[in-house]
Chain A
Amino acid sequence: MTLFHSKQVLGSLIFGIALALSNSASAQQHPLADVHIHYSHDAWEIFPPKEAVAILRKAGLKYAFVSSSSDDGTQMLYAEAPDLIVPVLRPYRRRGELSTWMHDPTSLDNLRTRLSENTYAGIGEFHAYGDDIETDVLRGVIALADKYDLFLHAHSDAEAIHLIFKQDPGARVLWAHSGFEDPSMVGEILATYPRLWSDLAFRSDQAYDGEVSADWRALFEAFPDRLMIGTDTYTPERWPYVTAHAEWTREWLEDLPTDLAEKIAWRNAEGLLKAR
């Protein structure tokens, strides 16, 4: 079974699996899947692919879901470490398109071209709120995700999540930052949509000094297979933070039962990829 859409990658996938088996993350480091990494032009200028991959490996990552403005960054990293990098196609060709892309039909053309040329597991992380989902561009994105069997990594509010599933009840959606909603609202929406997963990127409220708060613990226990972690490297300066973030994450995961911690740490990310 492949983990993500494959046009040209049987060879590289076999190679990647072989490398994964010899993944060098230290035995002391519990592996993590960081599902929220960006590698945009200003990052690759400072951290070339070899250095960037070294940072990810030092952090003990088993998988890094990477999306970039432009997608060239993701492709460079994927070429450098196909065992580690899970390529996700970002609609932005450069910084500055975050709030305008959904009104620009050429961004959809760009996605079509990229999808025909490369290998991806998902489309995102994109920013879309409320009825942005009903624009032609977002409708096109959701249709492309269906066509290529990709998940959507949506930085969205709850209303947008509802509208995505209204358009395609079979979509797989990774909700960036869990919408910055409180745990009860996240739980409500996870309960509504079985094919919704949720990331915790740039959220600190789930734990205080390594202790998981009661409301988040309840959410993790109610949805043990649906939440995962991420750093969000939205500026180049955040790349060195991947390691610190991994340490911070391992600290609060220690406060959960081992099986649940392992799911949040990386198994749920793998589960999202396998849920075709």
Chain B
Amino acid sequence: MKPFALVLFSLLVCFGFAQPVVGQEKVEFTVSELAFIQSHGPWPPKMEPDPSNRFSGEPSASAWGQQLFQDVRLSQAQTLSCASCHDPDRYFADGKARSTGTSTVDRNAIALADLRLNRWFGWAGQSDNLWAQSIHPILDRREMNATVETIVQRVRQESDLAANYTAIIGKGPKEEEPLRLLVNIAKILAAYQETIRTPTSAFDLMRTRLLEDEMISEDAAVLAGLKLFVGKGKCSLCHFGPNFTNGEFHDIGLPYFIESGQVDQGRYGGIRDLKASAFNRLGEYGDEPAESAAQAPTAFVSLQHRNWGEFRVPSLRNVSKTAPYMHNGTLASLEDVVRHYSTIDIERLHADGETILKSLDLTKQEIANLVAFLKTL
């Protein structure tokens, strides 16, 4: 923030609120609300290379990764690629409630963007790094259904894959141990996915104007929605910071049966998978120094009862373009999402386990305002 703006912001804090003029209406922000608005930027933040992936930030690796991302040879039947569910033309999602690989999976394809800001990957956080997460769909029988042997065979036998592997990895695929070859392919995929970024949004521009107290003529509904987001709605408490997520996991009172009697364990299963994975940051396949890896969050996470049925808080950037919503895509529109929080069944949340979520009881106009704000992200 510019020095002038800082002074101005301090003055606003002293006076307790800002009063942007909005057409005929006036929206007042409290000190707390302004602080939250400030916390949602600036954008984009600096994104450092992934220390666990030696190819992270390497242009040649990300260029090959972009090709591999759309390469059906990474699936067993050579009919599916990463892009089948993370379609670049659909903001790296697929628009389906639950995605379809070789068969229908349990969860919605989460949109890929700004991934260097993630602490955990997947709805359940089963991975603590992007390359490990990239292995899951390749080997999952309901997704690309490949085997390690298939990937190894194809990379060794297909001349373009072998040539790229040799040039970028620095070693011929025939000389590589099979599991490490798979990991290297996943690291190349990760190097590309890290480059998928969301642009500066309408909200980012509005935030700057608000904090610099420029004469603004914002949309009244958007400003009212922003006020709800950072105020009464308490949305900012979990959809925190520039990326609009705290990166952690919550139970938001949605049912999480996959089908009758079969439950999606969410974060509970995610932690178990994470700890058991050979590809987590504590394992032998990462590239970061041991002392750095030892400080990975995975070293400190442990199972808690609350983890059962928790799912990762997603970023809200680009949110209006990535419907449907929630881990299983059961909410078709942003209006549905806001209505869920407005009428949340508080008895589905543990009486002492949840202190943030309350039924918001929003009016029709408030729901429309909040949606109008979300569309600026």
Q: List residues of chain A with CB under 8 Å of any chain B CB.
A: 46-47, 51, 95-96, 98, 127, 155, 177, 180, 202-204, 208-209, 231-232, 234-238, 240-241, 244-245, 248
Q: Let me know if B170 is at the binding interface, CB within 8 A.
A: no
Bound Cα distance from A204 to B308, whole angstroms: 12
B159 CB–A CB distance under 8 Å:
no
By beta carbon, the residue of chain B nearest A247 is B303
Q: Are B303 and A204 in contact (CB under 8 A)?
A: yes
Decide if A203 touches B261 in the complex (CB within 8 Å): no
Known contacts A234-B350, A237-B309; decide if A51 and B261 are in contact (CB<8 Å).
yes
Q: Do B347 and A95 touch across chains, with their CB atoms under 8 A apart?
A: yes
Selecting from B24-32, B211-219, B252-260, the interface stretch reads B252-260
Partner of B353, one of A47, A202, A237, A248: A202
Smallest distance from the beta carbon of B74 to chain A beta carbons, Å? 33
Given the interface pairs A95-B347, A180-B352, A202-B352, the reply to whether A245 lies near B305 with Cβ below 8 Å is: yes
Q: How far is the CA of A95 from the CA of B50 in the complex (A)?
A: 48
- CB <8 Å contact, B306 and A244: no
Name the residue among B256, B305, B350 with the largest chain A CB count within 10 angstroms.
B305
5 nearest A-B residue pairs (beta carbon): A204-B304, A240-B263, A95-B347, A241-B308, A237-B263
Q: With A46-B260, A244-B268, A244-B308 as given contacts, are A209 and B351 in contact (CB-CB < 8 Å)? A: no
Other than A46-B261, A127-B351, A204-B306, give 19 A-B pairs with Cβ distance below 8 A: A46-B257, A46-B260, A96-B347, A202-B305, A202-B350, A202-B353, A203-B305, A231-B305, A234-B350, A235-B309, A237-B256, A237-B257, A237-B263, A237-B309, A238-B308, A240-B262, A244-B265, A244-B308, A245-B305
Binary contact track B63-106/A, C-beta < 8 Å → 1, others 0: 00000000000000000000000000000000000000000000
5 residue pairs A–B, Cβ–Cβ below 8 Å: A204-B302, A238-B308, A240-B261, A241-B263, A241-B305
CA distance A232 to B263 in the complex (A): 16
Question: Which residues does B use to contact A, with CB under 8 Å?
Answer: 255-257, 260-263, 265, 268, 302-306, 308-309, 345, 347-348, 350-353
- Docked-complex contact A237 and B255, CB < 8 angstroms: yes
State whether A208 and B353 are in contact (beta carbons under 8 Å apart), knowing that A237-B256, A237-B308, A244-B308 are contacts in the complex. Answer: no
* A248 lies within 8 A of B303 (CB): yes
> How distant is the Cα of A127 from the Cα of B346 in the complex, in angstroms?
14
User: How far, in Å, is B308 (CB) from chain A's closest CB?
Assistant: 5
Instruction: Report Cα–Cα, A24/B348, bound state, in Å.
Output: 33
Q: In whole angstroms, what is the CA distance A231 to B303 when docked?
A: 14
Task: Find chain A residues with CB under 8 A from B255 CB.
Answer: 237
CB within 8 Å for A98 and B304 given contacts A51-B261, A237-B309 = no
| Cβ–Cβ < 8 Å partners of A202 in chain B | 305-306, 350, 352-353
On chain B, the residues within 8 Å of A232 by CB distance are 305, 350
In Å, the complex CA distance between A267 and B9 comes to: 62
A234 to B303, CA, bound (A): 19
Contacts of A236 in B (CB 8 A): 257
Q: Once bound together, how far apart are the Cα atoms of A155 and B9, in whole Å?
A: 45
Q: Inside 8 A of A155's CB, which chain B residues have their CB?
A: 351
